Structure 1
Amino acid sequence: MPKVLVSDKLSETAVQIFRDRGIEVDFRPELGKDKDKLAEVIGEYDGLAIRSATKVTPTILEAAKNLKVIGRAGIGTDNVDKAAASKKGVIVMNTPFGNMVTTAEHAIAMMFAVARQIPEASASTHAGKWEKSKFMGVELTNKTLGIIGIGNIGGVVADRARGLKMKVIAYDPTLSEEKIAQKGAEKVDLDTLLARSDFITLHTPLIDATRNILSRENLGKTKKGVRIVNCARGGLVDEAALAELLQSGHVAGAALDVFAEEPATENPLFGLPNVVCTPHLGAATSEAQENVALQVAEQMSDYLLTGAVTNALNMPSVTAEEAKVMGPWIKLADHLGNFIGQMTDEPIKAINLLYDGVVSQMNLEALTSASVAGIMKAVNPEVNMVSAPLIAKERGIKISTTKQDKSGAFEGYIKLTVVTAERERSIGGTVFSDGKPRFIQIKGINIDAEIGQHMLYTTNRDEPGIIGALGQTMGGNGVNIANFTLGRSKAGAEAIALLYVDAPVPEDVIAKLHQTGLFQQIRALEFDVG
């Protein structure tokens, strides 16, 4: 039974989802702020469900010997070291849709608040003043709203803004002009957005490309009287520069829900007129809190019980339906990679995958990850589908994929080719109707080999005596052959044999085979067929 730790405050309904799905769960929200105690106990768990209080550092991950998945109830995963998690082979999930509407609504509310100076007007009125002429605002209608990052949340903001009769432009280099148009916005470059916008709202993650995107220089390019809204991430805006431009009158107002340092107890923007500040409330509605908690519990349960991967940040998503269909193909991809990995001693320069027929319509990213993991596991058994692509990238290995319509006798097959400085090595496989993976081609030679835990691979010239030598040597030394597959390129040319045996082939038996002088290559192989 999988075991999950909830180390932050999640709703009891979410905790119950784990229990109802048959997962053992410990609800210990106090651990989120106790990194030492968390490191002490995390090794017991397969899953970790968190919010923002828990910091998943390399130290925590190093102690997490059994951890398979981290689920963040919410969008932001700044509190998780995703690179360290990937190297450890731990999936990191978030819930990008649970608080999408809530965060977008907060951005719209902040836009209204700064346009009409509502917080200051409210404080003045509460103080018994009646300063009607002091709080002259502006309408949103017919104003231009510039959205930096028009993904899920930015798209909802665009929809609401169009309902307010605003003109919407967007800067998002990750989306095409057509995609942005579908969200009701005009695609522009950043300089154009800065120059044209009456309001600018940010809805992008904090990455190297977006850090300080509203820098002093870029803020200086904005239209005089612009109003800035940030409900995305602290660190997107140069807060000191924004404060200066507010004081000079170039920026008419700003509304921020997030700050470079949080909790924000001191900030150059605090105390300035027409600056609205809230304490990271973008997702703080009862509906959103419940939604993201329920989502993360469902996602983690699905992965731990069925292998379905949803909203993962460091692995291709695989639905529960895909997991059922693709399970044997993912196993095949792993076996193909593992065969190549055990056969290859020199550094790998490139990995090429060909997907033919029915398999070409599947989730190729997941299959590719499985193949690469199979290759890497030959050297490091702890590598998995999460960590393998990252390791390959670090080693400078180029990975390419090709897909094609059915081209042969099989409904579908995968061919894996590895390129080194010395040679190319290839293997092909398919999944039969019984759901069992099979090797169907090695080095361009057709075969039909059942895959077993213990195998022996040999190459030789096609000549009499090979079968007898193999059978006699193996049988004479107590090695039982379960399945014996032969193949050759043509009569008298190169031939191969693949034996599925009941136990690992001892080194002395391999030595005796070498002594016959009949074999060019002999390699004992092991596969995880569980």
Structure 2
Amino acid sequence: MTKPKVLISDKMDPNAARIFEERGCEVDVITGETPEELKARIGEYDGLAIRSSTKVTKDILDAADNLKVIGRAGIGVDNVDIPAASAKGVVVMNTPFGNSITTAEHAISMLLALARQIPEANARTKAGEWPKKDFMGVEVTGKTLGLIGAGNIGAIVASRARGLKMKVMAYDPFLTPERALEMGVEKVDLGTLLERADFITLHTPLTDETRNILSRERIEAAKPGVRIVNCARGGLIDEAALKDALESGHVAGAALDVFLEEPAKENPLFDAPNFICTPHLGASTTEAQVNVALQVAEQMADYLVDGGVTNALNVPSLSAEEAPRLKPYITLGEKLGSLVGQLEGPDVQSLSVEVEGAAAELNLKPIVAAVLAGMMRSWSDTINMVNAPILAKERGLKVSETRTAKEGDYHTLLRVVANTPDRRREVAGSLFGNNQARLVEIAGTRIETELEGHMLYIVNEDAPGFIGRLGLTLGDAGVNIGNFHLGRRLPDKHKGGDAVLMLTLDQQPSDAVQDAVCALEGVRKVRSLSF
């Protein structure tokens, strides 16, 4: 079996390469390449491990014919074109927790430095002055800290701030009252936070919703004398408005580790009073650099070797422990989806994935993605579990999930229901021996078969002599039947109705063979299938 091949294109801890090798991957460490050099090289790799220097553009992704996963050692993925990666079917991962403590500690350090004006006092003292009267700081004890963003890093900052005897409030649309109580913070709206906070720290990603979250209007609405710290992402603060507020004294001080444009070798804020800055050092500690490098290697190896998906930004997470249990269901879902796709084509408008029995306990997101990938792969050979849900959404395909814990006729069952403008198509499958995917029902007819290789799906009038005529027709054409499975859809218990045949053939039947089968008396439908 060929080993997955990984390229590390940015400098990171050498133990990352060791982890890849120990987990069964080949790894090359080639840093500092130009975009053109990376584009020429990327086609031979299954994985790409990066930090912030490598820019993974659509142009590079277009050349990445074998790429399956991009791993960012760190939080920010501004340097990865995620929509293009998703369309290409490439998983994009980051390591959101590897530098959480380091970034939180930097924010607290900036807050304390801002409160006591330490950088400027240090510079002037070293210049031979003794400007004791010029630096009247403020205590943080008893002051109110307002967190904008209360995720992992925000929670660590809150913990450290409470240790400094600060009162902490938080604005975060995703913060639940229970989590706020656990963190020891007061959950407030943004307006209340701006009114009451003596210090504000930001801990959100940069999105359309958070861009300029501290706009000119919001900065003006903040409590006079507020001090602002941003160690999250550039672009969260209107930098021009912040400069004006610092010069007017409405904002008593600001400390930024990140800027809208980086490297920020020139910025109007550099001349503003009571302004502290550092060159994006939030994650710059020895411990953090080691942690994120090791984590990204472990996550990527989990995916490439075992199918586990952790901290992915464009596909549901799937732990390495879950992957073996889900793998047969993913196979079953993909085959059922493929069956629907080949029978109905691109006319499907809505899709329902229903699970019963043991399957109801599972993480359904990967199974649904597998069904979609199987169905849509019959229309495009670039579809996989990563991009199928995105492309389905773009097509306006409505997708729903249903769980039923109670067992029916099978210990575990996966049912796929597809609706087109003209009809409803329903197929169901189960696992035999907990790992063998089998079709058990199609169009309301019980029929058990593996979905493998070349198959012929036939619906015909249930009448004597048909199977003999079918066998002769295929035999005369030199087509050998590997397996033969029959289901009967009867209007009553004795006679009439239709029969459903699923034949496994040794070779794909030609159009002429299919036409000959269609011409047989009583045939209602014939479809060649491939799995």
TM-score relative to the length of structure 2? 0.97
Give per-residue Cα distances to partners, 1:404-459, cap 9 Å, x unaligned.
11331211111111112121111111111151100011112221112211111111
SS in structure 2 of the partner of residue 210 of structure 1 = coil
The amino acid that maps onto 2:24 is: G
The answer to whether the 8 Å contact 1:342/1:378 transfers is yes
Matched, 1:473 2:473: yes
2-structure distance, mates of 1:142, 1:471 = 88
Give per-residue Cα distances to partners, 1:35-89, cap 9 Å, x unaligned.
1111111111111000000000000000111101101000110100000000000
- Runs of 5+ consecutive residues of structure 1 not aligned to the other structure: none
1-structure distance, mates of 2:383, 2:328 = 19
The residue number in structure 2 matching 1:348 is 348
The residue number in structure 1 matching 2:500 is 496
SS in structure 2 of the partner of residue 205 of structure 1 = coil
Give per-residue Cα distances to partners, 1:289-325, cap 9 Å, x unaligned.
0010011111111111111111111111111121111
Farther off after superposition, 460-469 or 104-113: 460-469
The residue number in structure 2 matching 1:174 is 174
The residue number in structure 2 matching 1:277 is 277
1-structure distance, mates of 2:407, 2:462 = 28
The amino acid that maps onto 1:312 is: A
The residue number in structure 2 matching 1:203 is 203
The answer to whether the 8 Å contact 1:450/1:483 transfers is no
- Runs of 5+ consecutive residues of structure 2 not aligned to the other structure: none
Matched, 1:519 2:497: no
SS in structure 2 of the partner of residue 345 of structure 1 = helix
The residue number in structure 1 matching 2:32 is 30
Equivalences for residues 230-269 of structure 1 within 5 A? 230-269=230-269
SS in structure 2 of the partner of residue 305 of structure 1 = helix
1-structure distance, mates of 2:30, 2:335 = 40
The amino acid that maps onto 2:467 is: I
Structure 1 position 494, deviation (Å): 3.2
SS in structure 1 of the partner of residue 482 of structure 2 = strand
The answer to whether the 8 Å contact 2:361/2:405 transfers is no
Structure 1 position 493, deviation (Å): 2.1
The answer to whether the 8 Å contact 2:481/2:504 transfers is yes
Structure 1 position 273, deviation (Å): 2.0
The answer to whether the 8 Å contact 2:358/2:411 transfers is yes
Give per-residue Cα distances to partners, 1:134-182, cap 9 Å, x unaligned.
1111111121111111111111111111111211111111232222332
1-structure distance, mates of 2:93, 2:291 = 15
Tell me which stretches of 4 or more aligned residues in structure 1 moved more than 6 Å: none
2-structure distance, mates of 1:265, 1:74 = 23
The amino acid that maps onto 1:343 is: L
1-structure distance, mates of 2:469, 2:173 = 64
Give per-residue Cα distances to partners, 1:76-107, cap 9 Å, x unaligned.
10100000000000000111111011001111
SS in structure 1 of the partner of residue 270 of structure 2 = coil
SS in structure 2 of the partner of residue 270 of structure 1 = helix
1-structure distance, mates of 2:191, 2:466 = 73
The answer to whether the 8 Å contact 2:345/2:379 transfers is no
The residue number in structure 1 matching 2:147 is 147
SS in structure 2 of the partner of residue 344 of structure 1 = helix
Equivalent residue in structure 1 for 2:19, among 3, 12, 17: 17
TM-score relative to the length of structure 1? 0.97
Equivalences for residues 343-492 of structure 1 within 5 A? 343-433=343-433, 435-490=435-490, 491-492=495-496
Structure 1 position 2, deviation (Å): 1.2
SS in structure 2 of the partner of residue 269 of structure 1 = helix
SS in structure 1 of the partner of residue 129 of structure 2 = coil
The amino acid that maps onto 2:22 is: D
The answer to whether the 8 Å contact 1:94/1:312 transfers is yes
The residue number in structure 2 matching 1:505 is 509
Give per-residue Cα distances to partners, 1:455-508, cap 9 Å, x unaligned.
111112322233223322223322222221111232422331111222212211
The residue number in structure 1 matching 2:56 is 56
The amino acid that maps onto 2:102 is: T
Farther off after superposition, 242-251 or 128-137: 128-137
The answer to whether the 8 Å contact 1:356/1:403 transfers is yes
Farther off after superposition, 482-491 or 82-91: 482-491
SS in structure 2 of the partner of residue 447 of structure 1 = strand
2-structure distance, mates of 1:465, 1:278 = 85
What RMSD, in angstroms, separates the aligned Cα atoms of the two structures?
1.2
The answer to whether the 8 Å contact 2:470/2:520 transfers is no
Structure 1 position 211, deviation (Å): 0.7
Equivalences for residues 129-168 of structure 1 within 5 A? 129-168=129-168
Equivalences for residues 53-92 of structure 1 within 5 A? 53-92=53-92
Give the fraction of aligned pairs with identical amino acids, expressed as a percent. Answer: 56
The residue number in structure 1 matching 2:6 is 4
Farther off after superposition, 231-240 or 139-148: 139-148
Equivalences for residues 276-295 of structure 1 within 5 A? 276-295=276-295
2-structure distance, mates of 1:493, 1:160 = 74
Farther off after superposition, 79-88 or 196-205: 196-205
1-structure distance, mates of 2:428, 2:350 = 17
User: Alpha carbons of 1:432 and 1:123: their partners in 2 closer, same or farther (altered >3 Å)?
Assistant: same
User: Alpha carbons of 1:460 and 1:146: their partners in 2 closer, same or farther (altered >3 Å)?
Assistant: same
2-structure distance, mates of 1:505, 1:140 = 79
2-structure distance, mates of 1:521, 1:201 = 66
The answer to whether the 8 Å contact 1:357/1:404 transfers is yes
Give per-residue Cα distances to partners, 1:210-247, cap 9 Å, x unaligned.
11111111111111111111111000000000000111
Structure 1 position 346, deviation (Å): 4.6
The amino acid that maps onto 1:18 is: F
SS in structure 1 of the partner of residue 496 of structure 2 = coil
The answer to whether the 8 Å contact 1:439/1:449 transfers is yes
Aligned length: 525
The amino acid that maps onto 2:14 is: E
The answer to whether the 8 Å contact 1:452/1:501 transfers is no
